[in-house]
């Protein structure tokens, strides 16, 4: 065991506290502002701990602004993208590990390239395609686009998972009279659950946090997702910052909650995803 002098400990901790303060202050200020009454927002000097915290800003944005609608749009789009993406990735990963093992590497490298394409380039043709198909301002257009974001990572990760499941298990299921599809859905997928959870989580977060695609593909404000709706509120004539920050809290809360619950999964997923692909 290493021993550390009290002085050194004190020094380390003071650096951590300063770094933590800088990192987290924006979140504190978001929360603090969102709980202030409208009159106090523009007080000078600003109040660091309000004496009259209230939920007024939240009730205003939920009753008078379509923030609830934005939330619903974000949820539909993110869940839809997660379902589609995980299904596609699981099918592909199983197909490659069980039927075309030799082609798996080439496919992964191809996926890596797609993952690195600049999204602002893809948006131009995608926008024109969707407008020709009449799919602007639909959830479907966003679900399709978002499904592709995490797909490379998901396929990669699940290929790893499926490789670790012995083939004897598939074969045993087949001998027992199951079809390939039955053994895939009823035997293999349940075994790969930890991988599926990580992949689903990752996809959901990327979709939920995405901005520029929704900015381009939705022009009708009733179809805005949270990130677009919030960024658009900034452009208003006189910004109600407490309301804006309340909306930001609502946008941040689900990802923070998911993150706190499933931190370990996610950290492993992110680290593996970045290092390996």
Restricting to residues 156-175, name those near other proteins by CB under 8 A. Answer: none
Q: How many angstroms separate the Cα of 160 from the Cα of each of 87, 163, 195, 228?
A: 16, 5, 9, 35
Residue 51 or 121: the one with the smaller Cβ distance to other proteins is 121
Part of the chain binding other proteins (CB under 8 A), chosen from 54-62, 64-72, 97-105, 192-200:
97-105
- The nearest distance, CB 35 to other proteins, in angstroms, is 14
User: What CA–CA distance (Å, rounded) separates 10 from 105?
Assistant: 49
- The nearest distance, CB 193 to other proteins, in angstroms, is 19
Please tell me whether residue 144 binds other proteins under the rule CB under 8 A.
yes
Q: Which residue has the tokens 């900015």?
A: 215
Please tell me whether residue 98 binds other proteins under the rule CB under 8 A.
yes
Among 35, 155, 188, 223, binds other proteins (CB under 8 A): 155
- The nearest distance, CB 5 to other proteins, in angstroms, is 12
Among 224, 228, 246, 265, binds other proteins (CB under 8 A): 228
- DSSP codes of every residue in 85-153: HHHHHHHHHHHHHHT-GGGHHHHHHHHHHHHHS-HHHHHHHHHHHHHHTT-TT-HHHHHHHHHHHSHHH
- The nearest distance, CB 224 to other proteins, in angstroms, is 12
User: What CA–CA distance (Å, rounded) separates 264 from 160?
Assistant: 18
Among 10, 129, 140, 172, binds other proteins (CB under 8 A): 129
**Total residues at interface with other proteins (CB under 8 A):** 94
Part of the chain binding other proteins (CB under 8 A), chosen from 62-70, 75-83, 191-199, 208-216:
208-216
Listed in sequence order, the residues at least 6 apart from 76 whose beta carbon sits closer than 8 Å to its beta carbon are 139
Listed in sequence order, the residues at least 6 apart from 89 whose beta carbon sits closer than 8 Å to its beta carbon are 151, 154, 155, 158, 199
Among 3, 49, 51, 102, binds other proteins (CB under 8 A): 102
- The nearest distance, CB 68 to other proteins, in angstroms, is 17
Contacts to other proteins from residues 4-63, by CB under 8 A: 4, 12-13, 15-16, 19-20, 22-24, 26-27, 29-30, 33, 41-42, 44-46
User: What CA–CA distance (Å, rounded) separates 109 from 114?
Assistant: 9
User: What CA–CA distance (Å, rounded) separates 151 from 93?
Assistant: 11
């Amino acid at each position: 065991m290493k021993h550390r002098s009290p002085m050194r400990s004190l020094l380390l901790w003071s650096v951590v506290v300063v770094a933590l303060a800088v990192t987290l202050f924006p979140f504190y200020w978001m929360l603090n502002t969102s709980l202030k009454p409208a009159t106090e927002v523009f007080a000078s000097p600003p109040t660091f701990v309000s004496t009259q915290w209230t939920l007024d800003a939240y009730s205003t944005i939920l009753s008078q602004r379509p923030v609830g609608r934005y939330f619903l749009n974000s949820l539909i789009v993110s869940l839809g993208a997660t379902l589609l993406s995980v299904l596609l990735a699981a099918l592909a990963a199983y197909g490659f590990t069980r039927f075309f093992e030799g082609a798996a590497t080439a496919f992964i490298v191809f996926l890596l390239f797609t993952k690195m394409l600049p999204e602002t380039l893809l948006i131009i043709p995608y926008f024109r395609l969707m407008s020709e198909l009449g799919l602007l301002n639909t959830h479907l257009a966003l679900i399709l686009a978002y499904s592709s974001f995490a797909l490379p990572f998901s396929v990669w990760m699940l290929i790893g998972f499926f490789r670790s499941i012995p083939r004897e298990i598939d074969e045993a299921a087949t001998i027992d009279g199951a079809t390939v599809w039955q053994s895939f859905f009823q035997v293999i997928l349940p075994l790969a659950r930890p991988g599926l959870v990580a992949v689903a989580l990752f996809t959901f977060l990327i979709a939920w946090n995405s901005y520029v695609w929704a900015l381009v593909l939705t022009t009708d404000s009733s179809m805005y997702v949270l990130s677009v709706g919030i960024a658009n509120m900034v452009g208003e004539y006189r910004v109600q910052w407490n309301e804006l920050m309340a909306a930001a809290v609502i946008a941040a809360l689900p990802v923070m909650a998911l993150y706190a619950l499933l931190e370990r999964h996610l950290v492993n997923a992110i680290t593996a995803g970045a290092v390996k692909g």
